[in-house]
Structure 1
Amino acid sequence: MSKSILTVGLSLASPDTKYENFRSRVSLLDWDIVLFRPLINEFWGAYVDHYQGKPSLDDSSSFQLKEACEHWRREIKQAIETGKTVVVYLSAVQEVYIDTGERQYSGTGRNQKTTRIVAPYTNYAAIPADLKPVNATGTAMKLAPLGAEVLAPYWAEFSPSSEYKVLLAATTIRPFIFTKNGDKPVATILRSKGSTGALVLLPDIDFYPDSFFKQQAKEQVWTTAAKQFAAKLVSCIVALDKALHAAADVTPEPDWATDSIFILEPERRLRSELLEAEGRLEAAQREMESKQTALRSAGQLRALLYEKGKPLECAIVEALIKLGFSAAPYKDSQSEFDVVFQSSEGRLLGEAEGKDSKAINVDKLRQLAMNIHEDLQRDEVAKPAKGVLFGNGFRLTRPSEREPQFTEKCISAAVSSSTALVSTSDLFKVAQFLAEQPDEAFASSCRQAMLNGVGLIVLPMVPAREMPAPEAVAKG
């Protein structure tokens, strides 16, 4: 199902999004994803004067600004509580003084003086979170070392375009993106405690560079670059929304909460009405769940192209089984290996590593060597296993555009230690073929390449697929 996306405070050259300005009173409950940029420049046109060097709005503009911020604060909070994803691009703090409506009078008669009472106000009043933002700008940023995996695909695509405009208070949030120097938090994700909703706070982006516009007749229109940018952003945000919902940690209703003493009368009536509908849907539901499970399992091999850690290890095991190995991770009280696999031709031990934007370096070879030694110490192992390092370097880049997956030093060390280096994107190609067209001769050649090769392994070229003959169709 496609996602409905609303943008507030920013406009995209995409037919898949709808734009509303900051003064809008639209409800966010009608949208799946909201992109929000808290800019209040439009209220600055009607200020009475300056106070302490900042614009001081008149009573009408003060009311309108406060009303708008309170509307968005309420709508964002409700949207998150009902399972929506709201992405806020953290623009600079815009400080103004608003009219409180209070007045102080001094003097009498013609000498009476009226003083307006004003209060400080910022654009961040629209965000339902205690961020304590402080203005600061820069472009050197990095993902948090742990816990920020959900942002990695987005960050790989848009970190070059991002610029932090504020620093956040580290004491009130769990940072997901830091400044490269000083480790100051500039982005985070705040999850709803009662739903799958999330408030994603990201460094700002320049959504209106000159390259996004061209003059056509008497008006400015979007350029191809603007449309391409919008398409990539929408795609990344939809993927982020999907990942956030998949990873949401919401407490299921306890069994005791369904006891009859807690049931409300409308529930009793509705439960009775639902019984018949549930009976009709039961068979279809079982079939749908079966298909969904099969679909997830069928696509697991794709993790070889972009994953790291346990998901990558699981995909490697599945691929090796497709190649005819018996394969599984190994763990006992003393040792833990990513994968141990064997066939009639021999026994191997593998280590897996994924890198976001780097090649696999020599460090993992040391870990692999230690694992092989530990494995050999087991009573049931008679000789050292062949070592294989599975690498997924530059994992967030399209495979055809990646640089070499392993460093030159890693390749040289692998040759010296008789270790095989296998790119998981190459492993995907052969596993994909064998999943569609089982071919024992080809599978055997792949196994031999790993068993006998050292250094960077080139797996056999995938045979040409056998295409089914076209069916004859009667002319209509």
Structure 2
Amino acid sequence: MGRRRIFTVGFDLPGDGFESIPFNSDQTLLDADIVLFEPTLSVFHSYESYNGRELLSENSSFIAKTRVDHWRSEIITAVNAGKLVVVYLSKPDVYYRYTGQQQHSGTGRSRATTNLVAEISSYEAIPNLTKVTAKSGSEIRLEKDGAFLGPYWSEVSEYSSYEVEIEGNFTRTLLRSRSGERVVGASFEGKRGALLFLPPIRYDYELFVQDVGAEEEWTAEAQEFGKRLVGALVGLSDVLRRSSQLTPPPEWSSASEFRLALENVLETNITQHSAQIQRMQAERLEFEQQLEDAGSLRRLLYEQGKALELAILEAMRLFGFESSQFQDGESEFDGVFVSVEGRCLGEVEGRDNRAIAIEKFSQLERNLSEDFAREETSEYAKGILFGNAYRLKPPADRGSFFTDKCVSAAQRIGAALIRTPDLFAPAKYLKEHPSDTGFAKACRDSIFSTSGGVVNFPEPPIVETNTVTTTNEEEPSLPASPILSVS
């Protein structure tokens, strides 16, 4: 066999023998020969807390749950396909997450919404573990059943301390704490592949990483360790493969006279379940698209170009405008907005690291003149310049959205300036409360009443929102039934 592909998921190791895969990825593990996996949720965002524990944002809540389910499935598939998967037992990451479920009480303006939350653990990504408890120590004992681990352990033991003790469905116990009371390393060996649970590798950052200009690179010592580790992992994989190697069945052994009735039943079940899986995957893709569409208003906060234009059209529709774009071969307008109060024409600009400048306002003025020159237009439209300045920063950290020249030009023609993040809160409220036509009219009025300045939208009515947990105060439980098993 040639060079083995070794994936590291959720962490990095030195040398070009490892391919780093982010935890927040949908990469398949079947592309690898050996997988090194460290469960983590640290890549996901949390801006608030609940019951003394961090609460993931709504977006991160969905992504985190999707990722732990993805990796659990991928690990099972990889082991069943004959891969070696090593799970490095890091300290658990435990958060609260939004479940996407809500409870409502009251009616009208007094309506209260309660968001339901649940705990999520990084170890939900790992099969065959029934309990993971955070415990730390550096004294580790190699058990008799772990003799095959010897060459690997001699390379990494000085970099390995345990961070958890584990319980689960194991073939062998490989490592214990010095007293023998805690299992800190184990294996599950299936018919083809193997799943190892081992203490994580914690190298000395100063010895392994060096600054080269503005970049960080692995030191020579780190590179050498990486090479030795690759060799030890390949040797470990070979030992486990030999211990589970079966003779491929010859073709003649598949003839009907050698088949058992149960095999036919199971093949039928597999076919039926495969069809169900395909249908569910199609439904999931549809739900994911619906989810993306449902959150499209968030693009008002950070997008530019066509994506920002479409988000603005949606927000203005929620305000009660007929919203559209216009193009006739001679003129092209980012947005045309019509309501009972009047007609507006908008120009849209998003900037990464600066305010919206006079050049974009000049484009708006040209568009207003072109629009008025059209035969079907009898009145000058109200001009609106939509700006998303410093778009990659949180809204609270941004500077002025429009330059002084831009503001002066808006005052000269009575145009309105709209910071696109300001559209988000009122648009979100109206999307969730479409019957509140009074608030929609107030939003339109704020636009038409603004002449030469930034539009100040009314604050959405306060809708009481609570957060409650759907679980108890104990540590989140791992799936009770191991999915990998020996047959």
* Structure 2 match to 1:60: 59
> SS of 2:187's equivalent?
strand
Give the conservation status (yes or no) of the 8 Å contact 2:161–2:200.
yes
Give, in whole Å, the separation in 1 of the partners of 2:131 and 2:239: 27
User: 1:246 — aligned with what?
Assistant: 242
Q: Which position in structure 1 is the counterpart of 2:22?
A: 21
Residue 35 (str. 1) matches residue 36 (str. 2): yes
Letter in 1 for 2:38: R
CA distance in 2, matches of 1:39, 1:170: 19
Given that 1:170 and 1:185 are in contact with CA atoms closer than 8 Å, whether structure 2 keeps it comes out as: no
Q: What is residue 160 of structure 1 aligned with on the other side?
A: 158
C-alpha RMSD of matched pairs (Å):
2.4
1:201 corresponds in structure 2 to 197
What's the secondary structure of 2:120's corresponding residue? strand
Tell me if 1:147 matches 2:116. no
Q: Are 2:190 and 1:189 aligned? A: no
Whichever residue aligns with residue 147 of structure 1, its letter is D
Give the match's secondary structure for 1:189. strand
- 1:131–1:173: structure 2 CA closer, same or farther, 3 Å change rule? farther
Post-superposition Cα deviations, 1:197-254, rounded to whole Å, max 9, x if no partner, equal: 0011100111462221111111211111211121121111111111111112659759
- Aligned 8 A contact 2:170 2:188 in 1: no
Note closer, same or farther for the CA distance 1:263–1:172 as it changes in structure 2 (3 Å cut): closer
Residue 95 of structure 1: aligned partner: 94
Distance in 1, Cα, partners of 2:198 & 2:110: 53
Q: 1:57, CA displacement in angstroms?
A: 1.4
Using the alignment, how far apart are the partners of 1:17 and 1:149 within structure 2?
25
Render the CA deviation track for 1:89-148: whole Å, top value 9, x for unaligned. 11111101111111122333333322111111101111122241100111111011x321
8 Å CA contact retained: 1:167, 1:186: yes
Deviation at 1:12, TM superposition (A): 2.1
Give the counterpart of 1:176 among 174, 182, 185: 174
Give the secondary-structure state (helix, strand or coil) at the position aligned to 2:14: coil
Amino acid at match of 2:7: L
Tell me which residue corresponds to 1:133.
Answer: 132
Q: Does 1:258 align with 2:259?
A: no
Equivalent residue, structure 2, for 1:232? 228
**Contact 1:131-1:173 within 8 A present in 2 as well:** no
1:105 is matched with 104
Name the structure, 1 or 2, with higher relative contact order (CA <8 Å, separation 6+).
2
Residue 85 of structure 1 is matched in structure 2 by 84
SS, match of residue 92 in structure 1? coil
Render the CA deviation track for 1:166-212: whole Å, top value 9, x for unaligned: 101267664210000243100111112x32x0011100111462221
Local SS of the residue matching 1:13: coil
Asked whether the equivalents of residues 99 and 116 of structure 2 are also in contact (C-alpha less than 8 Å), the reply is yes
Query: What letter corresponds to residue 97 of structure 2 in structure 1?
Result: I
Distance across 1 between alignment mates of 2:62 and 2:212: 39
- Residue 258 of structure 1 aligns with an amino acid whose one-letter code is S
- Please give the secondary structure, in 2, of the residue aligned with 1:134: strand
| Contact 1:88 1:199 (8 Å CA) reproduced | yes
Q: Is the 8 Å Cα contact of residues 97 and 120 (structure 2) preserved in structure 1? A: yes
- Say whether 1:6 aligns with 2:2: no
Change (3 A) 1:108 1:205: same
Q: Deviations over 1:44-97 (max 9, x none)?
A: x2x252122211112211110111111111111111101010111111111011
Structure 1 pair 168–108 and aligned structure 2 pair: CA distance change class (3 A): same
Q: Distance in 2 between matches of 1:250 and 1:166?
A: 34
Identity in percent: 37
* Contact 2:79–2:85 (CA under 8 A) maintained in structure 1: yes
Q: Which residue of 2 aligns with 1:356?
A: none
Shift of residue 255, structure 1, vs aligned partner: 11
Partner amino acid, structure 2, of 1:205: I
SS at match of 2:226: helix
Distance 1:246 1:172 in 2: 19
TM-score, reference length from structure 1: 0.51
Contact 2:208 2:219 in 1 (8 A): yes
Separation in 1, partners of 2:117, 2:160? 35
Q: Distance in 2 between matches of 1:62 and 1:257?
A: 50
2:117 alignment partner in structure 1:
118
